[in-house]
């Protein structure tokens, strides 16, 4: 039996009638049109589907959409403001932290979650924070550098 | 296919659904349930009771020296807790390496136990620390079950279908003791233990071993104790030679299988290394030396 799902995505209240076994990833992409969140492995291995649920990182491929009912979801589309990219997005772009780009939404969300917990992460903490995200272009060094730089900018340190 | 979904906010409401709907299964973080369904290992339950909004299951406290955790306690909380890290270190070792930051933020200790995987990271530490769980059902109250006898087989527990794991109780470790959990892993994230070991070791005032509890991960259908290895330690000096002998004795408790992660032979060989290393880490902690959490990242000296 379809159930009514009501949730907030990037500040916008949205709703859909969905079958109870569907995942948050599929509902975000197929029902709510938020395709920034990617399906990589669909198996919680790669992190391309990462979103924030009430501020906490979640593999949306392995999270039942109805469990997100009433909660605040942040997807990659929610990082930028109306007129400027998020510091993480800018650092990824300017530092070459993007190759094919498929892992990028998940990397950005995991990095945002990490910086929220630890505003001044060491390189090791950055690697741990992104350990659930795979980049098949293997561009990890510039990704780590971009997170380091964005964290510094967000702290107000000179970069 | 899932037909019914409920999101109760009280334990009583969840128990009522579990009692009245025979197909109902609880889900907390969902990190195991949905992946298992996706991989075709176990389809999603026909009826899902999402318990993640039950405030009464999300508590944590130290009561009379014991660690009392609601079943919704996340791995992230456990890994960050200064008290767990210093007093129940093996549990912090385990929770800090479960999955990825996302898994740790969402995944719960109750879910890890009730999933009954032979590779569950928190189970062996809880067995070595002598933990119990509280299972509650409508009309029957609560009963206490040792973590060591909760899992019966992969994916199967001693809990009845209408019972909910509400609380995990970890007793205070004995004076002079230290604990550790180490697993062999390949990627350091989204990993399942190739083999793992948890140790609680107690040292006498002269530094010899007064007692030890060893539990093994991923070498049998459930987490198992290693009684031969435990017996080999009592009264001995806490040094590398003793740990090696005990680690070899631990192989007697292992019945590993071949699977995608490792062959049974490799598991048996690596179990000896992992048990010796875990004994060294736990003994060092018992002596008050600082071993980083997670101990799996600790690189011991050549003496091990």
Using H for helix, E for strand and C for coil, what is the string for A49-89?
CEEEECCEEEEHHHCEHHHHCCCEEECHHHCCCCCCCCHHH
List CB contacts (< 8 A) between B27 and chain A.
Answer: 64, 67
In this predicted structure, what is the pLDDT of residue B301? 61
Cβ-Cβ pairs closer than 8 A, A with B, add up to 92
The pair of structure tokens assigned to A100 is 């094919």
**Angle between the N-to-C axes of helices A87-95 and A140-155, in degrees from 0 to 180, rounded to the nearest 10:** 140
Cα–Cα distance, A69 to B9 (Å, whole number) = 13
The pair of structure tokens assigned to A102 is 């498929």
Q: How far is A138 from chain B (nearest CA, A)?
A: 14
A42 and B102 within 8 Å at the Cβ level: the answer is no
- The answer to whether B198 touches B170, Cβ cutoff 8 Å, is no
Q: How far is B185 from chain A (nearest CA, A)?
A: 13
Q: Please report, rounded to a whole number, the percentage of residues in chain A having pLDDT higher than 70.
A: 100
Does position A151 have pLDDT exceeding 50, yes or no? yes
Q: Tokens 């098949």 appear where?
A: A136
Does position B114 have pLDDT exceeding 70, yes or no? yes
In this predicted structure, what is the pLDDT of residue B302? 43
Is the reported ipTM for this assembly greater than 0.90?
Answer: yes
List CB contacts (< 8 A) between A59 and chain B.
Answer: 31, 100, 102-103, 106
Q: How far is B207 from chain A (nearest CA, A)?
A: 35
B2 and A45 within 8 Å at the Cβ level: the answer is no
Minimum-distance CB partner of B34 among A1, A23, A114: A23
* All residues at 6 or more sequence positions from B124 whose CB lies less than 8 Å from its CB, including other chains: B90, B94, B181, B196, B197, B198, B215, B216, B217, B223
- Pick among B9, B33, B102, B191 to test the A interface (most A CBs inside 10 A): B102
Cα–Cα distance, B288 to B232 (Å, whole number) = 23
What is the mean pLDDT of the segment spanning B164-184? 98
List CB contacts (< 8 A) between B192 and chain A.
Answer: none
- The answer to whether A16 touches A24, Cβ cutoff 8 Å, is no
Q: Which of B107, B105, B95 is nearest to B29 (CA)?
A: B107
Interchain CB contact of A47 with B (< 8 Å): yes
List CB contacts (< 8 A) between A3 and chain B.
Answer: 5
Interchain CB contact of A35 with B (< 8 Å): no
What is the mean pLDDT of the segment spanning A43-56? 95
pTM over 0.80? The answer is: yes
In this predicted structure, what is the pLDDT of residue B32? 87
Cα–Cα distance, A1 to A118 (Å, whole number) = 42
Interchain CB contact of A63 with B (< 8 Å): yes
What is the mean pLDDT of the segment spanning B47-62? 96
**Model confidence over B248-295: pLDDT tens digits?**
999 989 999 999 889 999 999 999 999 999 999 999 999 999 999 999
pLDDT classification of A138: cutoffs 50, 70, 90: confident
**Model confidence over B115-159: pLDDT tens digits?**
999 999 999 999 999 999 999 999 999 999 999 999 999 999 999
Does position B304 have pLDDT exceeding 60, yes or no? no
Q: Which of B246, B127, B119 is nearest to B184 (CA)?
A: B119
Residue A80 backbone phi and psi in degrees, to 5? -75, 150
In this predicted structure, what is the pLDDT of residue B303? 41
B3 and A67 within 8 Å at the Cβ level: the answer is no
List CB contacts (< 8 A) between B17 and chain A.
Answer: none
Interchain CB contact of B99 with A (< 8 Å): yes
pLDDT classification of B33: cutoffs 50, 70, 90: confident
Does position A8 have pLDDT exceeding 80, yes or no? yes
């Amino acid at each position: 039996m379809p159930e009514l799902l009501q949730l907030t995505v990037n500040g916008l209240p949205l709703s859909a009638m969905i079958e109870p076994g569907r995942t948050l990833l599929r509902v975000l992409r197929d029902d709510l049109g938020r395709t920034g969140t990617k399906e990589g492995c669909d198996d919680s291995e790669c992190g391309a589907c990462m979103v924030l649920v009430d501020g906490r990182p979640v593999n949306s491929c392995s999270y039942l959409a109805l469990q997100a009912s009433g909660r605040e979801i942040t997807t990659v589309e929610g990082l930028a403001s109306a007129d400027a990219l998020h510091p993480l997005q800018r650092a990824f772009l300017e530092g070459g932290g993007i190759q094919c780009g498929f892992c990028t939404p998940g990397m950005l969300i995991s990095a945002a979650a990490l910086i929220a917990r630890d505003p001044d992460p060491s390189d090791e903490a950055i690697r741990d924070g992104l350990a659930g995200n795979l980049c098949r272009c293997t561009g990890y060094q510039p990704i780590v550098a971009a997170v380091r730089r964005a964290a510094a900018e967000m702290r107000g340190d000179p970069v | 296919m899932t037909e019914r979904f409920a999101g109760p906010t009280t334990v009583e409401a969840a128990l009522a659904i579990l009692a009245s709907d025979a197909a109902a299964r609880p889900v907390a973080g969902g990190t195991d349930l949905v992946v298992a369904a996706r991989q075709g290992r176990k389809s999603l339950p026909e009826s899902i009771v999402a318990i993640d909004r039950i405030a009464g299951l999300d508590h944590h406290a130290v009561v009379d020296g014991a660690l009392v955790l609601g079943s919704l306690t996340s791995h992230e909380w456990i890994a960050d807790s200064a008290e767990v890290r210093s007093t129940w270190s093996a549990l912090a070792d385990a929770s800090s390496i479960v999955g990825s930051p996302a898994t740790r933020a969402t995944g719960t200790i109750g879910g890890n136990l009730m999933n009954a995987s032979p590779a569950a990271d928190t189970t062996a530490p809880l067995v070595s620390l002598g933990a119990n769980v509280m299972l509650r059902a409508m009309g029957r109250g609560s009963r206490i079950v040792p973590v060591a006898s909760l899992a019966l087989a992969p994916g199967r527990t001693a809990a009845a279908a209408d019972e909910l794991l509400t609380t995990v109780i970890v007793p205070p470790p004995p004076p002079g003791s230290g604990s550790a959990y180490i697993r062999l892993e390949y990627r350091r994230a989204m990993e399942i233990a190739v083999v793992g070991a948890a140790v609680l070791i107690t040292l006498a005032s002269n530094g010899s071993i007064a007692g030890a509890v060893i539990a093994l991960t991923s070498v049998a259908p459930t987490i198992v104790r290693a009684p031969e290895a435990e017996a080999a330690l009592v009264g001995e000096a806490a040094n590398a030679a003793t740990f090696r002998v005990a680690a070899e004795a631990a192989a007697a408790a292992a019945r590993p299988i071949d699977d995608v992660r490792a062959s049974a032979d490799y598991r048996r060989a690596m179990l000896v290394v992992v048990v010796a290393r875990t004994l060294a880490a736990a003994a060092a902690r018992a002596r008050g030396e600082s071993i980083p959490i997670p101990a799996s990242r600790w690189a011991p000296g050549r003496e091990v």
